[in-house]
A and B are shown apart, each in its own frame.
Chain A
Amino acid sequence: MIEIDIREKSFGEHDVLGNVRLEIAAGECMAVLGPSGIGKTTLLRIAAGLEDDFQGKVVRPGRIAMVFQEPTLLPWRSAADNIQLITNVPVEDVKDALERVGLTGKQNHFPDQLSLGQRRRLSLARAFAAKPDFLVMDEPFASLDKDLARNMIDLTVELLKDTQIATLLVTHSETEAGALATKVFRLEGQPAMLTPTEVSS
């Protein structure tokens, strides 16, 4: 169980997050919707442990993986190395991880030799190869065209199926939230707080 209990987070005089409480059970996917600049990424960075200058407490497991807004790959290493070096999984698992996201045969390609869609898949493959207990996704399908985004959402649903991964998805897209999440919240106000919301899946 991931427990996020933020009382306050501010940058200087500017209060970004107010009282934010969120609990994510194993196998559950929570989505947080909100416009740009509302504090979604700050919430996510706190949840992931990248930001510890806040008032409150977060209980999270040891194994965390993240899918970033940009693929955030090592451009100087091959696709296979990008998984193996970062997640430290055995070589045979790397092959499987690439296969699951449709990148069979691309193990020796450098990220710059892959299309944006393929780089996103590689980033997804890396996250799942790490076998996380907690998966954090920061606008993972932003800047993709509609078809490619749909394709990536389906792939993520497929990868999450039958796992016990607790997932926190931050997005501004109701479609993404509806397709992936079991519960959806909206981050709004000043300072921002969470309110449950319904979106069509």
Chain B
Amino acid sequence: MSFRKADPRTAGSIRVRLISLGLLVVGWWAFAVALADPEILPSPLEIARLTARELFNGPLLYNLGVTLGRVVAAFILAMAIGTVAGLVMGRRKAVDTWLDPWLLFFLNLPALVTIVLCYLWIGLTEVAAITAVAINKIPMVTVLIREGARTFDPALDDMSRIFRVPRITRLRHIIAPQLAPYFAASARTGTALIWKIVLVVEFLGRSNGVGFQIHLYFQLFDVAMVLTYALSFIAVMLTIEFAILQPWERRASRWRQA
């Protein structure tokens, strides 16, 4: 049971995705050639050259690391608070009734307002930056996890009560697997949203990170460097998506295909 075979459907889907991505690059290249103005739209080759230069002789790696650190910190904070809030709201009707208006309020609070207020109230600090990003993400995690908690099978609850399953076993083997698809969905939408907000946070009030670099090159009207930093970070996030999040999601839902 423990061996795994390569799924031909997954392999086929990876091939299609790579071809699709290749077509995007080809389209960009064709457009850049047709425009013939590297200051407005540099070619992919030029961006690749700049990326290599910034990577080996510039501060690209440092800034990628700084931004990734903020993404990870805000992600962990948002997932932890959102999961607990979602679980409690999904399982306790009274708490849900009380907290639902708050949730709606925070869901409708624009990211920019949260960021500006956090910087004004806390100051231009790392804590303010990460708090602002987490506040933007927590409501979405809460909503998804609450949905998950509402779909829990009551028969499994009864079963675990009857057999007096220890709390930790219940959490790990009964609650977590039921929550896994919702957790995975909120993690994936979470990372996509968080890194975009982190860039805005850095743009507005930090002195390092990919967002700060984009701000810097925006002031210099340097499209090539803006693209270099933006695409490098997209590459990092796509690697995380394909190397960590998607395999984990597949593993979590393996039993469904059994």
Contact = CB atoms under 8 A, between A and B. Distances in A.
Interface of A: 45, 48-50, 62, 64-66, 68, 70, 72, 74-78, 81, 85-88, 108-110, 112-113, 126, 130, 136
Nearest to B252: A76
6 contacts: A50-B158, A64-B164, A65-B163, A74-B174, A78-B1, A86-B160
Interface in B71-88: none
A7 to B, nearest CB: 24
A138 B144 CA distance: 34
A7 B38 CA distance: 86
A74 B173 contact: yes
B258 A112 contact: yes
Nearest to B254: A76
Nearest to A75: B255
A86 B161 contact: no
Nearest to A134: B162
Interface of B: 1, 155-156, 158-166, 169, 173-174, 177, 254-256, 258
Contacts of B254: 76
A108 B1 contact: yes
Contacts of B255: 75-77, 110, 112
A113 B177 contact: no
Contact of B156 (A72, A81, A88, A113): A72
Contacts of A74: 156, 173-174, 177
Contacts of B174: 74
Contacts of A48: 162
A87 B155 contact: no
B12 to A, nearest CB: 25
Contacts of B177: 74, 76-77
* Most B Cβ at <10 Å: residue of A85, A87, A88: A85
Contacts of A126: 163
Contact of B169 (A70, A85, A110): A85
A54 B234 CA distance: 59
Nearest to A51: B158
A123 to B, nearest CB: 9
Contacts of B155: 68, 70, 72
Given A86-B165, A112-B255, A77 B159 contact: no
Contacts of A81: 173
Contacts of A136: 162
B160 to A, nearest CB: 7
Nearest to B253: A76
B161 A110 contact: no
Nearest to A50: B158
Contacts of A130: 163
Contact of B173 (A49, A62, A85, A108): A85
